[in-house]
Amino acid sequence: MQHTNTIFKDRADAGLQLAEALMGNGIKADIVLALPRGGVPVGMMVAKKLGLPLKLYLVRKIGHPYNDEFAIGAVTENGMIMNETLHANPDYLDNAIRKERERIREMKEVFGNTAIENDIFNNRVILVDDGIATGTCVELAINELRKSGAKAIIVAVPVCPLTTEDKIRKIADKLITLKRPAHFAGIGAYYENFTQLADNQVVELTKKSPIKAT
């Protein structure tokens, strides 16, 4: 589904539009998993509209040494994926991986409400973020969700560039996106308000989750 002139007011607006698209596509699921931090307000609206529990799924990007916004890999608490065509100093990679895994442990403690295997096993999962750029974090999340026994993985994002779309469609059961730019200007370019969230804002949002996963 594509809205040619989609510019989202903010992440909540994007989440509402995404929820409508999911319902319009007849998507059925058991749980919404949001990638912090930007995916949380989007996932919150999706979960609320669809009447599903919301949990957080922790993945951290490994940025390029000369451009931290450009992902060369990603890590979860136990998993990892690296773009083998992009080379970085081994010491840089070791430090970056250690730093991001420490950040995941910190987020797990601060945020709470993070997904455990029982939330995933044999369940239909909607994986939500505020947008996809290279797709590295989402790709790792899908790999890890498969390992945890997810019955189906529906990736739902407001914006995903055409250059990344094929990769995600091949590994997810379904991809729902509202904006598919051929010339991608960065996720924030498609939002009027793309202010970064602080940890305490994520905590407050997850407290408002309409249904708690068991």
Q: Over the stretch 141-190, which tens digit does the pLDDT of each residue have?
A: 999 999 999 999 999 999 999 999 999 999 999 999 999 999 998 999 99
Beta strand 67-75 with 80-82 is antiparallel
184-191: which pairs have CB atoms within 8 A and are 24 or more residues apart? 184/133, 186/69, 186/133, 187/38, 187/130, 187/131, 187/132, 187/133, 187/159, 190/6, 190/7, 190/8, 190/131, 190/158, 190/159, 191/7, 191/8, 191/9, 191/10, 191/11, 191/14, 191/130
Q: What is the pTM of this model?
A: 0.91
Give yes or no for residue 67 having a pLDDT over 90. Answer: no
| Residue 65: per-residue pLDDT | 86
Domains in the chain, please, with CATH?
Answer: 11-59+113-205 (3.40.50.2020)
| Residue 5: per-residue pLDDT | 54
By mean pLDDT, which of 2-6, 37-41, 83-87, 205-209 is the weakest? 2-6
Q: CB of 125 within 8 A of CB of 152?
A: yes
Q: Over the stretch 4-62, which tens digit does the pLDDT of each residue have?
A: 456 899 999 999 999 999 999 999 999 999 999 999 999 999 999 999 999 999 999 99
Q: CB of 55 within 8 A of CB of 213?
A: yes
